[in-house]
């Protein structure tokens, strides 16, 4: 008898205490191994409208709800006895009459009230007749019952949807299947109903079924799914995501989408698909930082739990870590990479030696980082022709000649010391592999691709084979916080026609996403003309509004943040489900003080093992790629966000615009790490970005 895992089971499991989770998992393993063993106590739930619901005893008070038919056993819910029974009594599991997808449906007749508008205060008799109230428009008045059925609305919920105003629809969201919610949100935003009835013989093969249920092939797969309930997205893949994963591409491909839409999920499943399709595949899964590479490694291990040997064919590392290892492999020696401070000092010393006074130190450092080193300019002639994309300071021939003397000295000085810049490291490995037919990997999958620089992109193109599915990128232009924009097409990487945008945000509540979206433009266009259309993105669940606080003093802010943290713990959040972030190292003490006042233990990405029972404390840059049930962003002060020292270092108006944009995007990244709760604080007058965050 196959065992099927429902996402409602992993969600309910995550809400139990740790000891209860362990007991429930042991019973789940027993159910999968032998559901007919005498020790398992099954009891039919007589009051349920669905005769196939049974309870299985875990301990004196804990029960697993299963849906038992002749052909399968579904694990659908777990809770304490009374609450577990109430859950099952109010639901049924069925195939939708039109779409064919299997759904867990809340029985409409057992729901007393969906939403009601409280009566207004009593009014005194008016001297004049009051005007008739303007009727609230119905969102779906133009849709027929067939239209609603085509997107998965259950039959007994049709009348409620047809009668829904905007307020009442939000109240309905928690009762409707996810595919119906997404389609109706999209219709409310755009006026277009994307209805597609899939014709599949097996209801379990329907893509909307697969977002809720997964057939488990073995005990290892069940253990992986139950050990990572907060990362259940790795088990239940959204149909739109699956379409991107399974597509056959004719060249380099990219998936985009705002924070929380599952780009990393797609990248991970793309790796798994390549490994399944090609027995000789050697896949590189790479991203911009070592901590994020570690996170990808843990997540891929969940997916590959039932695939022995798959992980042996995957290399997971950061961009620079990959280049470092390939350099050592091909040269037999470790590369000497100069620190950023060393490089900046060399630029300023060369300017002094060459008596360069026409340009500011800020301009010289910026020109080195964003033009000379980024594009690996090695001669005065090359400098004369390089496109200085977006740079406001136009340079004549004489100016470039003078500047080149400065930069040539920097290059020579670093070379004499045997030092490479990070861009130089990428260039060295690029030269080695560009002309080789044999590559170190058969496929390269890139996460957080928006933070690739010129040298990194050239490097990845050089180590990837010349095959249609050799390069796959996942990223969001709205989360670019490190690199200046440049043309991918100009470097030979053209993803036009093979670029997809995800629109369903399953990680972040509507309230948090809606507030964070105010920080960025609705549409962001890259240098090659590709647009990330951020409008139309929908979140599939509701939550509390973000709390935004501007305190009179650091002490007052600390107290308010500590009270919020204490409230989270009192409400049952585990410390590990909380992230606390600030803009830079200088503000960490303020965040640490709030945690200590809340008697909350903290860890950093550097000093603690993964999975510890502490809240994560760090700077906003390190929040990228992570997610938490609750996030606290402190010290969002004027002069801190955007960071005053970055603003002071800009060389021209264009770079100032870029600094402000990337600071906004950094704030957006940090805010969208939160799933359910977001607290943002600063000391008066506060960051200019706070006004945008709370703008209605």
* Secondary structure of residue 92 in the 3-state scheme: strand
User: The domain that contains 588 carries what CATH number?
Assistant: 3.40.50.300
Looking at every residue in the chain, the average pLDDT score rounds to: 86
* Together in a domain, 489 and 373: no
**Statement to judge: residues 644 and 559 lie in one domain:** yes
Based on the fold, state whether residues 557 and 578 are members of the same structural domain. yes
> Is residue 393 scored above 80 in pLDDT?
no
Q: What is the CA radius of gyration of the chain?
A: 28
Of 448, 482, 504, which residue is a domain's last?
504
> Is there a single domain that holds both residue 598 and residue 671?
yes
Residues 580 and 661 in one domain: yes
For residue 377, the 8-state DSSP code is -
Distance CA 438, CA 154 (A): 55
Report yes or no on 253 lying in a domain: yes
Q: What is the pLDDT of residue 631?
A: 97
Number of domain units in the chain: 4
Please tell me whether residues 257 and 206 are part of one structural domain. no
Say what percent of the chain tops pLDDT 70: 87
Instruction: Give the per-residue pLDDT at 127.
Output: 44
Q: pLDDT tens digits, residue range 470-513?
A: 999 998 876 776 566 788 888 899 998 899 988 878 778 888 98
In a domain, 137, yes or no: no
pLDDT for 644:
86
Token look-up 């159910």 returns: 31
Rounded distance between C-alpha atoms, residue 597 and residue 646, angstroms: 31
Instruction: Assess whether 675 and 551 both reside in one domain.
Output: yes
Residues 308 and 407 in one domain: no
Instruction: Identify whether residues 349 and 467 lie together within a single domain.
Output: no
pLDDT of residue 229: 46
Helices (H), 212-289: 219-227, 239-246, 263-277
pLDDT exceeds 90 at position 678: yes
Three-class SS of residue 550? strand
The residues pairing with 254 across neighbouring beta strands, listed in sequence order, are: 473, 499
**Range of weakest confidence among 221-225, 318-322, 634-638:** 221-225
Please report which confidence band the pLDDT of residue 530 belongs to, taking 50, 70 and 90 as the band edges: confident
Work out the percent of the chain whose per-residue pLDDT is above 90: 51
| pLDDT for 200 beyond 90 | no
Are 454 and 570 found together in one domain? no
Of 114-128, 152-166, 179-193, the one with minimum mean pLDDT is 114-128
Q: Identify the CA nearest to 502 among candidates 467, 470, 537.
A: 537
117 inside domain: no
Q: What does the alpha-carbon distance between residue 394 and residue 574 come to, in Å, rounded to a whole number? A: 55
**pLDDT by residue (tens digit) across 396-452?**
788 889 999 999 999 999 999 999 999 999 999 999 999 899 999 999 999 999 889
pLDDT mean over 292-312:
86
In this predicted model, what pLDDT tens digit does every residue of 29-48 receive, in sequence order? 888 888 877 778 899 999 99
Query: Do residue 583 and residue 677 come from a single domain?
Result: yes
Q: What residue numbers bound the domain in which 364 lies?
A: 340-419
The CA distance from 352 to 538, in Å, is 55
Are residues 607 and 626 both part of a single domain? yes
pLDDT band with cut points at 50, 70 and 90 for residue 1: low
Residue from 155, 32, 12 nearest 95 by CA: 155
The answer to whether residue 315 sits within a structural domain is: yes
Q: Torsion over CA of 679, 682, 684 and 686, rounded to 10 degrees?
A: -90
């Amino acid at each position: 008898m196959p065992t099927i895992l429902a996402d409602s089971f992993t969600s309910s499991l995550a809400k139990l205490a740790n000891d209860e989770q362990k007991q429930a998992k042991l019973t789940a393993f027993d159910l999968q191994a032998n559901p007919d063993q005498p020790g398992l106590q099954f009891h039919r739930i007589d009051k349920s409208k669905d005769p196939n619901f049974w309870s299985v005893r875990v301990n004196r008070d804990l029960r697993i709800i299963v849906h038992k038919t002749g052909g399968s056993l579904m694990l659908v819910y777990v809770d304490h006895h009374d609450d577990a029974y109430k859950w099952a009594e109010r639901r049924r599991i069925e195939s939708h009459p039109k779409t064919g997808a299997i759904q867990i449906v809340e029985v409409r007749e057992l729901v007393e009230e969906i939403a009601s508008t409280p009566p207004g205060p009593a009014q005194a008799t008016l001297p004049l007749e009051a005007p008739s109230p303007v009727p609230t428009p119905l969102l779906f008045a133009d849709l027929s019952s067939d239209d609603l059925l085509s997107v998965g609305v259950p039959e007994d919920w049709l009348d409620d949807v047809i009668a829904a105003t905007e307020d009442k629809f939000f109240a309905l969201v928690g009762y409707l299947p996810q595919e119906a919610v997404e389609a109706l949100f999209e219709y409310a935003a755009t006026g277009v109903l994307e209805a597609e009835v899939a014709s599949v013989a097996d209801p379990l093969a329907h893509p909307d079924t697969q977002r809720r249920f997964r057939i488990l092939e073995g005990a290892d797969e069940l253990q992986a799914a139950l050990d990572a309930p907060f990362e259940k997205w790795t088990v239940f893949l959204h149909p739109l995501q699956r379409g991107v994963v399974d597509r056959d591409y004719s060249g380099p491909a990219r998936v985009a989408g705002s924070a929380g839409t599952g780009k990393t999920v797609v990248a991970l499943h793309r790796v798994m698909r390549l490994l399944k399709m090609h027995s000789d595949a050697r896949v590189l899964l790479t991203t911009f930082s070592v901590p994020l590479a570690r996170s990808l490694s843990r997540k891929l291990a969940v997916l590959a739990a039932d695939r022995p040997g798959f992980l042996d064919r995957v290399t997971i590392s950061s961009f620079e870590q990959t280049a470092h290892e390939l350099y050592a492999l091909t040269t037999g020696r470790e590369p000497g990479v100069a620190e950023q401070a060393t490089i900046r000092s060399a630029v300023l010393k060369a300017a002094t030696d060459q008596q360069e006074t026409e340009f500011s130190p800020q301009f010289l450092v910026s020109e080195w980082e964003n033009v000379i080193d980024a594009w690996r300019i090695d001669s005065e002639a090359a400098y004369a022709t390089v496109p200085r994309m977006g740079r406001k300071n136009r340079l004549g021939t004489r100016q470039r000649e003078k500047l080149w003397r400065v930069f040539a000295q920097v290059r020579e000085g670093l070379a004499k010391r045997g030092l490479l810049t990070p861009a130089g490291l990428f260039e060295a490995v690029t030269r080695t592999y560009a002309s080789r037919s044999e590559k170190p990997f058969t496929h390269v999958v890139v996460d957080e691709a928006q933070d690739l620089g010129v040298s990194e992109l050239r490097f990845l193109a050089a180590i990837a084979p010349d095959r249609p599915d050799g390069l796959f990128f996942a990223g969001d232009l709205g989360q670019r916080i490190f690199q200046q924009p440049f043309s991918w097409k100009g470097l030979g990487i053209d993803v036009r026609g093979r670029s997809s945008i995800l629109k369903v945000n399953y990680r972040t509540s509507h309230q948090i996403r809606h507030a964070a979206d105010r920080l960025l433009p609705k549409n962001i266009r890259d240098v090659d003309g590709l647009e990330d259309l951020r409008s139309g993105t929908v979140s599939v669940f509701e939550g509390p509004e973000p709390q935004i606080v501007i305190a009179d003093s650091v002490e007052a802010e600390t107290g308010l943040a500590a009270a919020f943290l204490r409230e989270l713990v009192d409400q049952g959040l585990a410390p590990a489900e909380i992230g606390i972030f600030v803009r830079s190292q200088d503000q960490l003490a303020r965040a640490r003080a709030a945690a200590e006042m809340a008697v909350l233990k903290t860890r950093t990405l550097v000093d603690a093992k993964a999975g510890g029972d502490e809240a994560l404390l760090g700077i906003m840059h390190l929040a990228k790629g992570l997610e938490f049930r609750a996030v606290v962003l402190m010290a969002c002060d004027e002069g801190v966000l955007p960071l005053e020292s970055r603003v002071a270092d800009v060389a021209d108006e264009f770079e100032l615009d870029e600094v402000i944009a990337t600071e906004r995007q950094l704030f957006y990244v940090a805010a969208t790490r939160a799933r359910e709760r977001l607290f943002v604080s600063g000391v008066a007058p506060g960051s200019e970005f706070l006004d945008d965050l709370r703008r209605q």
